[in-house]
Structure formats: structure tokens, C-alpha cells
Structure 1
Amino acid sequence: MVHTDIVIVGAGPAGLCLANALSGAGVSIVLVEQQSHDALREPAFDGREIALTQQSVAFLRTLGVWERIDAHAKSQLADARIFNGSSPFSMKIGHALSGHAELGWLVSNHLIRRAAFDAFEHRRASGADIRIFASGRVIDIDTDACGARVRLESGETIAAQLVVAADSRFSATRRMAGIAADMHDFGKSMLVCCMTHDAPHDHAAWEWFGHRQTLALLPMNPDPQTSAHRSSVVVTLDARDTGRLSALDTDAFNREIERRFERRLGSMTLRTTRHVYPLVSVYPKRFVAKRFVTVGDAAVGMHPVTAHGFNFGLAGIELFSRAICDARAAGRDIAGDALLARYEQKHRRDTRPLYLITRLITEVYTRDSLPARIARDAMLRIGERLTPFKRAVAMSLAGR
């Protein structure tokens, strides 16, 4: 049997960032991850581009993750624009309203994963008591007042004080702990890829609520090979239509995306593989159980429309890791009921309102009826004139 203080299930960005945050707290840590060491060291491109707030970037700096990402791979997110239907009008959220030179930064998910793993390996090589069981799968967990036990498919058992679920919004570990979750399946799927285009994006993100589709454009730095304008393109459609779009050959796909964007960006050219994800938001009934806690998407699985998913995950990790460090320094139980309850209360208070607001936004802004489209246009035009409202949105996007 392996003995440790904390078992983290899932070595994605959330699990790795938590391990990095706790590595100097005087606790021993074991990560369990289904993927191989090679996949962790060189994660494959998965299509997802993460909009990081200023607060998230500051935390990644403290973890030694931010500097491990190539500067050319960090794209400035200056402004945000919201469109409705075919109207050229948009509500613009400018970075100046946030008090920063930009709202945030756009970085590929696989690059964040690689940088977080590099930081983890560096800390381990420097003597931190952290280990990783790659190619391992958890099949059972058991917790009580005395401790926790995690059983792996290999037959090995890990004894710990605390188990952390960081294994996605569909967390199997959370289910093993007996925690139910509210899941909302929007009945749609997102297709994500990177494309180059003729017209500049001016480092502004687009959210475009169209007829039977939602489009997003996330501004990236110029294409490293052609120097053409480049963006991450997100197309949200009914699952069947997304499948058809994904199956098109490259030329037909380019023309179809141009048509959907009404050629506002000119010619568009696919530059990466295409990836499709089901659109499901998740909010557990509880974030904690006896000697058990959820972080990252296992705690809050957001709809991506407000770009708060990974940022909420990092905020929760910062909050929880600080609580663990303080408890260890004071000689208190790092898995005590009171500590876990405080984390749950604070993280729920920080995330629940925007989770519900996001649900409301997606319901209102994706209806296709004529009255709904007219109402959306009116709301955007009113919002464009309300500077205090736009300032609040800008500060939220910056993570303040």
C-alpha cells in the first residue's frame, strides 16, 4: 500500500495546478492519471483555446506555469463584441473599462497542460514530495473519519488523508463519492478549430448569436507560417448539424464557415484539425464529502459563453490550496470538515450566481423566434449605451 497526504485524481490543467500550488505546503501528493507519461509530457492539440483572466494569469505566474508558455502562443484579448443575427451592430466591451491594457489572454489548452506538467516535473526534480501514477485508473474510493483509500485498476491501494477529484465535469470520482450533480444538456455540440482569414480581428473576441447557430471568434496571433490573420473558430449547432459540418472536406468546410460568418472575415482557411464537444453544463449538489473535495470542472462545469470555466477552476484551486497551506502551517487537519465546508461555501458563493446567469443568457440568446431576436437586438443596443453595465462586464472578463 502507498501512503500519502493527498491523492489528486486527474492530471489535467486543474489537477496539475493544484499539485503545483500545494508542493511547498509540506504535504505529500500523489496524482493518478489515465493518460501515459508521454501524453502528459506532449499533450495533443484538442482545439480548445482558453480565455484567461488577469487574475488567472497572475496565479499561473505564482505556480511557475505562465513563463513556460511560449510568448508567441499567448494572444492578447483586447476587447469583446456581441452580435445578434445579421445586423452589423455589436455591443463592444472595451479593455479600457477593465482598467487593464487587455481583458485577458488567449492560450491553447494543450499548451497550458504542457506548461503545468513541466512545472510539476521541475518541482518534483527539485525535491518536492509529489508523484504521479500515469496510465492508472481509479476504480473505488472509501473515506471515513480516519482517512481515505483509493483503489486502482492495477490492484494497488493508496492511503491518504484527502482525495481530490479533478477528473472533468463528468467526474467518475465524484460519483464514487456519492455526490450527485445537476447536468443541463443543451442538445447542441461545439465544433472548434483554428482558421486564418483575410480581415483583421483587431484582437477582439466575437460572440455572435445567429439564426439556429452561435458563432464565436477568439483572436490569435498571426499564423506562424503564413503571417495571416488567425482565430479560433467555435460553431455551436444541433449535434446532427455539427457532425455534418465536421465531415466536410477541407474546401467545402472553408466555404461553409465563410458563409456562416457572412464573409465578414473574407476568405477563411482551416489550419488545424477539427474537434467536436457536446455542450453540457454541470453543477454538483455538493463540492465536498468526508475527506473528499472537487476542483476544476469536477466542481463547476460552465457553459463556455462567458469564458469563466477554467478561470473558475483556477480561482477555486487558489482558494483551496491557500486553506490547505494555512491548516498545515497551524498543525490542523488538512481534510477537516470545517476546512472543507469553508471552501465549499466560498466557492459556491463565487460561482453559483454566474452559473445561473449563464444558463439564463444561453436560454434567452439562443431562441430563434422573431420576438426573441428583436428582444436581443434591443438589449444589445440598450447595453451599448450603459457604460456602468459594460464596465461591470469588462471587469468580470478581466477576473476582478
Structure 2
Amino acid sequence: MDFDLIIIGAGPAGLCLARALRGSGLRTCLIEQQPRESLQDPAFDGREIALTQHSAELLRQLGIWPLLGEAHIAPLKDALVLNGGCGPNQARMLISHRLSPRSELGHLVANHHIRRAAFAAALADTAGDGPPPELRCGEQVVRIHTDAHAAQITLGSGQTLSARLAVAADSRHSSTRRAMGIPADMHDYGRTMLVCNMTHEQPHHATAWEWFDHGQTLALLPMNPCPQTGQHRSSVVLTLASHELQPLLDLDETAFGQAMTRRFGQQLGAMRLSSTRHAYPLVGVWARRLVAQRFAAVGDAAVGMHPVTAHGFNLGLRSIDTLATALIAAHQQGQDIASPALLDRYQQTHQRASRGLYLATHAVATLYTREQTPARWLRHAMVGLGERFTPFKRAMAASLTGLA
């Protein structure tokens, strides 16, 4: 047997799992298509990750949090939900950190900083952490086969590796999950998300916005001030049908800033682009099973969330914590780390943790992208009622902190 565990995909999920298993005595291999340089110093991709307090604690336990750098961690104190256009009839619901036991609901960290820190924590040759996993970069998995004894992984180079357990961490469109015959329910929301960083005249007060406007959905994630200018800065997310979004991507920086200022109803004053722009189609994925014979899926390969409730990476960390804890306990007790009973417990635990959130997120995303008059009335009423019903807002605050 070449390894105890082969992790397919060295994105944040695969790297965090590899880090969680360091020092356990398990021999781990990471397989990734990208070159090592792209993993070690990942490029900015536009995405800011809203980390719950629970996720921040998990990253501390993994030794990843200190490697992020304080300058790259922004506080997320409150969340504001808006519905409708600007004006006196706009519905608002403020979810305050005062409804939780913490001074902020969570933290904002750019995805590429998480990837960089996770790589450093997982692969650093640090005394006391045990040997780092073996990293095979520039390799593609062309075949996976499992039986009662082992998982066999065939690489594009022709080499075959064996392990007691194979783990898919290769995105919501996981080819490994599909190769194992695991079906997934996919929902294409027919929308594309444009993400970028922008500076603006008015302060954001460390408050995240989710604005369900007529004909568009806008989000604002509060960042630390721009290091070059000291101006207020946020990650901005605009969701539109793909054919409506492309003209915005084609605008020059000045025209784009003016267009986004108008789309935000000038509520933040003049806005200016301060990063590259990136577009991502919105697709939700629910794997019907998370395990098979000597196989498990984690992160987005297990559950790919719509970003409207900001739970995707947080749920991925939960899956990694659940699986890693079970694997380490089994190894310490001399048990099979890929026993059907262990994998079934992992599946049940993570599906219980994620099913409700996935369905609720899907319902919210579906309702708030419909433009028919009844849908507009319903979401306006829901936001208005939510603002007046403190127990609901308290439950939302608990969910956003991850302490529910």
C-alpha cells in the first residue's frame, strides 16, 4: 500500500484536510492538476470568504489562522438585508452582532489568502507536526477503482497509486465523485456572479449587505481600508443573467465605477474599481451520497452551496473536521480508516449538518431571483417581518457566527 490516504484536489478543502491529518501517523498524498507555484502563491480570484466564528476557531486549531496575516482579516460585525429599490418603501432587516455573544458575526478573508495559508500550513516542513503529505502537482486522475482492500488511483502519467482511502476534494463539479458512480443534484440558477474589490466614499461600518433589488442582486462584503489610498473598501458582488453581465465586464475602469455607483443607488457615494473583475456562474450541487467503498467526498465535492447565505466554505470546513476526527480516532485504535461503519457515520453527520442549510439557501436564492409581482411582495413582506421579529434575527445571528 503506497499511502493510507490519497486526497484528490489541493484547493482549500484538500489542503485543510491534509493539515488536519499531520502528526496523526497517517501517510497522506495530495494530487493536484495545477503546478506547485500556483498553489504556493495563488492569484487573486475576486472571492472573499465570510468565515463564521466556528470556522475561525477550526483554522486556529489547524495553525492556518496566524498565517493569514492580520492585514488580510476584516471584521464582519453586522449583516444588512435589503429588498427593493432605493426609497422609503425599501424593506430592511439588520442582523446585529449584539444578538450574538461575540463582538462580530465573523470575519472576511480573501480566498487566495486562505489558499496560500493552507498550503503553507499543510506543506511546511515544521518540527513537531509530523511529516508533510506527499504532493503530486501537475497530475490528473484518469481512473479510480476501489474494492474491499484498497483504492487504486491511475494518473495521467500512467502511474498507479494505492491507498486505504481516497478522498475527493476537487470542486463541486468533481470528476472523481462522478467516476465513483455517485450522482448529484445540480441546480443552475441561470445567473452569473461578478466579483471585484471597490473603494467608496461612504463607510461600510463593517456591515455586510445582501440587497435583493429589482432585476439584480447586490452584495457588499466589508474589507479593511485600501492599503494604497486608505479609502473605504469592499468586495462587491453583482448577480445578473449572463447576457446582462458581459457588457459590464467590457467597460473600462472609470465607466465601470460609474455604473456600479448607479447600481448601488449612490448609497456608498462614488465607487471605484480597485482590483481585477471575475465572473462565476451560479450552480448549486447536492451529492446524493458522500461515501462509497473506500471513498469519501469533502468540501464542495460533497455540498456546493449558492453563496447567498455565505455558508459554502464554512460547511466544507465542517466536513473536513468531521472526517479528520473520525480517521484519526480509528487509526489510533488500530481500526480500518475506511470501514463502512466509519464512512457511514461521516456521511450521516455531515448531511445532517448541511441538508437544512442547503435547502434553505436554495429556497432563498430561488425566491429572490424571481421578478414576478407575487415574488416581490412575498420577499418584501418577509424582510419586513424579519426586522420586527427579534427571535428570528437572533437565530440568524447564531447561524452567521456558526455557533448555533
State the TM-score, normalized to the length of structure 2.
0.97
Return the offset for 1:129.
Answer: 5.0
Query: Within the alignment, does 1:165 sit opposite 2:168 as a pair?
Result: yes
Query: Within the alignment, does 1:110 sit opposite 2:137 as a pair?
Result: no
Q: Following the alignment from structure 1 to structure 2, what is the Cα–Cα distance between the partners of residues 59 and 369? A: 42
Secondary structure of 2:211's aligned partner: strand
Contact 2:215–2:371 at 8 Å: present in 1 too?
yes
Map residues 177-216 of structure 1 onto 2, 5 A cutoff.
177-216=180-219
> How many residue pairs were aligned?
399
Contact 2:23–2:130 at 8 Å: present in 1 too?
no
Contact 1:27–1:129 at 8 Å: present in 2 too?
no
Secondary structure of 2:304's aligned partner: coil
- After the TM superposition, which segments of 4 or more aligned residues of structure 1 sit over 3 Å from their partners? 123-127
Give the partner amino acid of 1:3. Answer: D
Q: Following the alignment from structure 1 to structure 2, what is the Cα–Cα distance between the partners of residues 85 and 101? A: 29
Give the partner amino acid of 1:69. Answer: L
Map residues 61-72 of structure 1 onto 2, 5 A cutoff.
61-72=60-71
Query: Within the alignment, does 1:318 sit opposite 2:301 as a pair?
Result: no
Q: Give the equivalent residue in structure 2 for 1:227.
A: 230
Q: Following the alignment from structure 1 to structure 2, what is the Cα–Cα distance between the partners of residues 79 and 23? A: 36
Query: Within the alignment, does 1:93 sit opposite 2:92 as a pair?
Result: no
Secondary structure of 1:5's aligned partner: strand
Q: Give the equivalent residue in structure 2 for 1:175.
A: 178
Contact 1:4–1:161 at 8 Å: present in 2 too?
yes
Give the partner amino acid of 1:378. Answer: A
Q: Give the equivalent residue in structure 2 for 1:24.
A: 23
Q: Following the alignment from structure 2 to structure 1, what is the Cα–Cα distance between the partners of residues 377 and 246? A: 30
Secondary structure of 1:392's aligned partner: helix
Secondary structure of 1:52's aligned partner: strand
Map residues 1-400 of structure 1 onto 2, 5 A cutoff.
3-86=2-85, 87-123=89-125, 127-128=130-131, 130-400=133-403
Per-residue CA shift, 1:198-257, capped at 9, x if unaligned?
010000000000111100000000000000000000000001111221111111111111
Per-residue CA shift, 1:56-90, capped at 9, x if unaligned?
00000011100001101100000000001114441
CA gap 1:200/1:333 in 2 versus in 1, 3 angstroms:
same
Per-residue CA shift, 1:157-198, capped at 9, x if unaligned?
111000000000000111111111000000110000000000
Kindly report the root-mean-square deviation, in angstroms, between the aligned alpha carbons of the 2 structures.
Answer: 1.1
Gapped runs of 5+ residues in structure 2? none
Q: Following the alignment from structure 1 to structure 2, what is the Cα–Cα distance between the partners of residues 214 and 55? A: 27
Secondary structure of 1:154's aligned partner: coil
Return the offset for 1:378.
Answer: 1.6
Q: Following the alignment from structure 1 to structure 2, what is the Cα–Cα distance between the partners of residues 257 and 123? A: 45
Secondary structure of 1:214's aligned partner: strand
Contact 2:25–2:130 at 8 Å: present in 1 too?
no
Gapped runs of 5+ residues in structure 1? none
Contact 1:20–1:123 at 8 Å: present in 2 too?
no
Return the offset for 1:28.
Answer: 0.2
Q: Following the alignment from structure 2 to structure 1, what is the Cα–Cα distance between the partners of residues 377 and 286? A: 31
Contact 2:18–2:133 at 8 Å: present in 1 too?
yes
Q: Following the alignment from structure 1 to structure 2, what is the Cα–Cα distance between the partners of residues 344 and 378? A: 37
| Percent of paired sites with the same residue | 54
Secondary structure of 1:366's aligned partner: coil
Per-residue CA shift, 1:263-322, capped at 9, x if unaligned?
111100000000000000000110000000000000000000000000000011001100
Q: Following the alignment from structure 1 to structure 2, what is the Cα–Cα distance between the partners of residues 156 and 76? A: 46
Q: Following the alignment from structure 2 to structure 1, what is the Cα–Cα distance between the partners of residues 216 and 330? A: 48
Return the offset for 1:21.
Answer: 0.4
Contact 2:219–2:236 at 8 Å: present in 1 too?
yes
Contact 1:49–1:106 at 8 Å: present in 2 too?
yes
Q: Following the alignment from structure 1 to structure 2, what is the Cα–Cα distance between the partners of residues 110 and 282? A: 22
Contact 2:124–2:132 at 8 Å: present in 1 too?
no
